[in-house]
């Protein structure tokens, strides 16, 4: 218990530090605009766009995990379905906040509703997110209501039916919006690396993997009851994560090997930059080593809850590297050779590294997400209570 | 030839010295009219539309200051001027503005780039028409080629369908316009342009990092004041307003917007040629109506050595290069 208490204290300190660090960034974003950001006109999307697809992937993934219960009736995951729904809501909010901060005119965000252009994948995204947000809230209300003690059996059955219906709408919706985020990139003819039918598929497998791993990590760390049911859930989640790592790796291999096998073509330079350029370590160390190899080793070799927890946590944390590699390398080569020296400005550079300020905003958003998660975890009936108020 | 060029230069040299918006947009046509007729009063062509008290002149009926007959050995600028005036007599949907750039004549002096920066009051990092300097071969067997890169004003523009709020669109005359008041600054169009012709206005200022020096503070203040002068893109005044305490939320357009070359339609609709055409020292850039078979650009674009960038993408650019 004292160990738990000191761990809690450490987590509080870390969170407060992150909130302060990030809070400064958020204030600077509101008062100074984009002045402190490092992205340019030639690499116009940077860390915030990568963070946005990272969060939205987490949301889609954890939602699809909940639909395994509500739509496909997987009983072994029943206990964590509500929590998955809530995590999907929180990460969706984080995604929308991040992309809002990325806009040049934040105050004009409403225009996506008042004057949408439905040719644009981006307009579709926002409309689908909105539908998805309401669906998540409705599902969450139904799910908590149906499990309230003393609720009549017939009402519970009705709630369950509605959950199945909403979940059945939600599954294609989640596939549409997250596949759609991949399509937002994939439809851009000008960017050779993005312009591939594999991109939306890669986004979906990434969402399933990162969202599944996030739920596995959360269940491993925060689940109040450390009983056989918990161990069983974690075993299943661990296996799901393992399978999804392998699937995602296969898709990645397909995407990148096809594009660069003969070493000819516009995407080759971009992939070379990603694999062997100045930020090679994002792919090889962050992603391949700590996001694939080590987690696979842990999941196969250490078949204990701690192994699954550590592996999942590694996958979730390192996945921001995958998202960065999905956004930035596609932008780093000039569309017309020589453009890089035609007119010199730090805003017309093809070399991009996120600034401290961009990281601050990212950390601030993550800290906000942790706070939202904690509030829900403490005050909403999402997890079984062991002893009220003790577990944190 | 010389007289037209000289007058043109006077306009360029004169405009920056005066601070009022009206003076900033005074056109060469006005100067030509002054020089030709001696009538000085009340003949402001370029500034009319932005003056609140003055009724807007219909763009389709400018009073032609030139004779319609061509003269021997006249400057191509004079002919293009006539081409523009002829096109302006037609309804807008029958015009198709296009540009031809003779790469053999370009010497990479960057006068077009700089003229464009001045005309549109471009802040640091925003550029509409860079000149790409290409080195071909291996030292010592090298040669250089130059490629000015305006917006291609594609007939099938990839930047238009991606805009989530339809803030960018193809006008009836073929120019791709950005509605600065609608653009949310998502920069999707920047990624979608295969020519990277769009840049983002980060709200930076030239003078913010400039050294003032012992006696330079006044000069710096003046330069800063000039920087805040409006541009007249798309026929509206766009003064630079730095923004208040929450400028990260409420930016003043065009800060926070995507920006690009628009063939200077605000000038063209007043009968003036785009600034880059005017400032080109080698007469390497031509402008006019591609729908008019007798225009200079139509003749040049039909030549066998006329080519377009990235034809294979099917974007149908309206900028042709003579190679």
Question: What is the H or E stretch that residue B287 is in?
Answer: strand B285-289
Q: Which residue of A has its CA nearest to B159?
A: A188
pLDDT (tens, 9 = 90+) of chain B, 323 residues, equals: 344 443 333 333 333 434 444 444 444 444 444 444 443 333 334 333 444 444 454 444 445 555 567 777 889 999 999 999 999 999 999 999 999 999 999 999 999 999 999 999 999 999 999 999 998 999 999 999 999 999 999 999 999 999 999 999 999 999 999 999 999 999 999 999 999 999 999 999 988 877 766 556 667 777 888 889 999 999 999 999 877 888 888 989 999 999 999 999 999 999 999 999 999 999 999 999 999 999 999 999 999 999 999 999 999 999 999 99
The CB-side HSE value for B137 (13 A sphere, CA atoms) comes to 7
Nearest CB to B193; choose among A28, A31, A190: A190
Closest CA to A65 of A217, A249, A253, A225: A217
Measured between CA atoms, how close is B147 to chain A, in angstroms? Answer: 9
Measured between CA atoms, how close is B96 to chain A, in angstroms? Answer: 25
Chain B contact for A389, CB < 8 A? no
- Please answer whether residues A49 and A324 qualify as being in contact, where contact means their C-beta atoms are separated by less than 8 angstroms: no
Question: What is the H or E stretch that residue B200 is in?
Answer: strand B198-200
What range does the domain containing B293 cover? 77-322
Measured between CA atoms, how close is B120 to chain A, in angstroms? Answer: 16
8 Å CB contact of B202 and A335: no
Burial class (CB in 10 A: 0-12, 13-18, 19+), B169: middle
* Residue bearing the bigger pLDDT, A148 or B83: B83
Measured between CA atoms, how close is A339 to chain B, in angstroms? Answer: 6
Nearest CB to A105; choose among B131, B185, B193: B185
Q: Which residue of B has its CA nearest to A112?
A: B165
Residue-wise pLDDT for A309-339, tens only, equals 999 999 999 999 999 999 999 999 999 999 9
Q: What is the mean pLDDT of residues A345-364?
A: 95
Total domain count for chain A?
A: 1
In a domain, A230, yes or no: yes
Tell me whether strands B168-170 and B285-289 are parallel, antiparallel or unpaired.
unpaired
Alpha carbon distance B205, B195 (integer Å) = 25
Measured between CA atoms, how close is A61 to chain B, in angstroms? Answer: 25
8 Å CB contact of B184 and A123: no
Residue-wise pLDDT for A218-247, tens only, equals 999 888 888 888 999 999 999 999 999 999
Write out chain A residues lying below 8 Å of B163, CB-based: 117, 120
Chain B contact for A370, CB < 8 A? no
Write out chain B residues lying below 8 Å of A352, CB-based: none
CATH number of the domain to which A292 belongs: 1.20.1630.10
8 Å CB contact of A123 and B126: no
8 Å CB contact of A33 and B161: no
Write out chain B residues lying below 8 Å of A104, CB-based: 183-187, 200-201, 251, 255-258
**Strand ranges across the sheet with B306-307:** B285-289, B97-102, B319-322, B306-307
Distances (CA, A) of B284 to A148, A257, B101, B110, B321: 78, 44, 6, 12, 10
Chain B contact for A134, CB < 8 A? no
CATH number of the domain to which B81 belongs: 3.30.70.20
Residue-wise pLDDT for A236-286, tens only, equals 999 999 999 999 999 999 999 999 999 998 889 999 999 999 999 999 999
Chain B contact for A118, CB < 8 A? no
Nearest CB to A41; choose among B149, B195, B200: B200
Interface test with A, best of B164, B193, B205 (most A CBs within 10 A): B164
Alpha carbon distance A154, A184 (integer Å) = 44
Name the A residues in 198-257 with CB < 8 Å from any B CB.
Answer: none
In a domain, B58, yes or no: no
pTM to 2 decimal places = 0.87
Measured between CA atoms, how close is A43 to chain B, in angstroms? Answer: 8
In a domain, B64, yes or no: no
Phi-psi region of B137 (alpha: psi -120 to 50; beta: other; left: phi over 0): left
Label residue A386 by pLDDT band (50, 70, 90).
Answer: low
Q: Give the pair of three-digit tokens for residue A166.
A: 């909403």
- Please answer whether residues B188 and B163 qualify as being in contact, where contact means their C-beta atoms are separated by less than 8 angstroms: yes
* Residue labelled with tokens 């990325």: A102
Chain B contact for A347, CB < 8 A? yes
What is the per-residue burial (b if ≥16 Cβ within 10 Å, else e) of A337-352?
Answer: ebbbebbebebbbeeb
* Residue labelled with tokens 């360029």: B12
Measured between CA atoms, how close is B73 to chain A, in angstroms? Answer: 34
Chain B contact for A27, CB < 8 A? no
Chain B contact for A93, CB < 8 A? no
Nearest CB to A345; choose among B125, B132, B245: B125
In a domain, B45, yes or no: no
Total domain count for chain B?
A: 1
In a domain, A61, yes or no: yes
Write out chain A residues lying below 8 Å of B162, CB-based: 119-122, 187-188
In a domain, A376, yes or no: no
Q: Which residue of A has its CA nearest to B244?
A: A31
Q: What is the mean pLDDT of residues A50-61?
A: 96
In a domain, A7, yes or no: no
What range does the domain containing A113 cover? 48-355
8 Å CB contact of A108 and B200: no
């Amino acid at each position: 218990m004292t160990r738990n208490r000191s761990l809690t204290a450490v987590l509080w300190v870390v969170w407060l530090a992150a909130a302060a660090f990030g809070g400064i960034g958020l204030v600077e974003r509101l008062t100074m605009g984009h002045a402190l950001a490092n992205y340019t006109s030639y690499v116009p999307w940077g860390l915030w766009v990568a963070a946005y697809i990272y969060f939205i992937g987490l949301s889609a993934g954890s939602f699809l995990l909940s639909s395994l219960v509500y739509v496909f009736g997987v009983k072994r995951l029943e206990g964590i379905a509500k929590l998955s729904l809530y995590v999907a809501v929180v990460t969706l909010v984080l995604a929308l906040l991040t992309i809002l901060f990325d806009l040049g005119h934040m105050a004009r965000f409403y225009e996506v509703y008042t004057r949408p252009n439905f040719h644009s994948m981006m307009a579709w995204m926002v409309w689908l997110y909105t539908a998805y947000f309401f669906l998540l809230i409705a599902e969450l209300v139904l799910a908590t209501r149906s499990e309230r003690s003393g609720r009549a059996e017939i009402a519970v059955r009705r709630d369950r039916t509605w959950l199945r219906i909403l979940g059945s709408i939600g599954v294609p919706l989640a596939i549409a919006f997250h596949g759609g985020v991949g399509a937002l990139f994939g439809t851009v003819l000008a960017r050779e690396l993005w312009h591939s039918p594999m991109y939306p598929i890669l986004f979906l497998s990434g969402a399933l993997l990162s969202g599944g791993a996030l739920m596995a990590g959360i269940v491993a760390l925060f689940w109040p009851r450390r009983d056989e049911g918990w161990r069983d859930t974690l075993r299943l989640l661990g296996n799901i994560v393992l399978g999804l790592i392998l699937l995602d790796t296969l898709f990645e291999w397909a995407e990148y090997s096809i594009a660069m096998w003969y070493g000819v073509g516009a995407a080759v330079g971009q992939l070379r930059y990603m694999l062997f350029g100045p930020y090679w370590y994002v792919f090889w160390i962050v992603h391949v080593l700590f996001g694939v190899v080590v987690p696979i080793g842990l999941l196969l070799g250490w078949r204990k809850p701690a192994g699954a927890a550590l592996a999942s946590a590694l996958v979730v944390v390192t996945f921001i590297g995958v998202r960065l590699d999905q956004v930035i390398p596609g932008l780093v080569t000039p569309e017309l050779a020589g453009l890089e020296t035609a007119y010199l400005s730090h805003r017309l550079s093809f070399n991009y590294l996120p600034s401290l300020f961009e990281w601050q905003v990212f950390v601030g958003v993550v800290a906000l997400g942790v706070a939202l998660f904690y509030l829900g975890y403490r005050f909403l009936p999402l997890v079984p209570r062991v002893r009220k108020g003790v577990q944190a | 030839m010389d007289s037209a060029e000289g007058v043109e230069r006077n306009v360029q040299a004169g405009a920056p010295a005066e601070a009022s918006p009206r003076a900033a947009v005074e056109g060469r046509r006005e100067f030509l009219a002054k020089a030709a007729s001696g009538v000085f009063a009340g003949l402001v062509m370029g500034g009319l539309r932005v003056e609140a008290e003055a009724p807007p002149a219909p763009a389709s009926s400018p009073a032609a200051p030139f004779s319609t007959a061509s003269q021997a050995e006249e400057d191509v600028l004079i002919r293009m001027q006539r081409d523009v005036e002829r096109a302006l007599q037609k309804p807008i949907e029958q015009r198709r503005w296009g540009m031809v750039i003779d790469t053999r004549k370009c010497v990479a002096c960057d006068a077009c780039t700089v003229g464009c920066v001045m005309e549109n009051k471009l802040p640091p990092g925003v550029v509409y028409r860079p000149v790409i300097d290409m080195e071909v071969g291996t030292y010592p067997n090298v040669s250089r080629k130059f490629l000015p890169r305006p917006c291609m004003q594609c007939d099938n523009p990839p930047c238009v369908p991606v805009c989530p709020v339809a803030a960018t669109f193809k006008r009836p005359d073929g120019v791709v316009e950005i509605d600065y008041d609608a653009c949310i600054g998502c920069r999707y169009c920047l990624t979608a342009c295969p020519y990277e012709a769009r840049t983002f206005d980060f709200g930076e200022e030239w003078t913010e990092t400039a050294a003032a020096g012992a006696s330079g503070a006044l000069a710096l203040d003046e330069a800063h004041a000039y920087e805040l002068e409006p541009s007249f893109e798309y026929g509206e005044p766009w003064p630079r307003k730095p923004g208040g305490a929450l400028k990260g939320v409420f930016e003043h357009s065009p800060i926070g917007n995507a920006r690009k070359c628009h063939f200077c339609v605000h000038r063209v609709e007043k009968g003036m040629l785009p600034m880059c055409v005017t400032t080109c020292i080698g007469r390497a850039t031509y402008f006019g109506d591609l729908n008019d078979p007798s225009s200079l650009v139509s003749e040049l674009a039909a030549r066998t050595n006329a080519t377009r960038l990235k034809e294979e993408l099917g974007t149908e650019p309206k900028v042709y290069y003579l190679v």
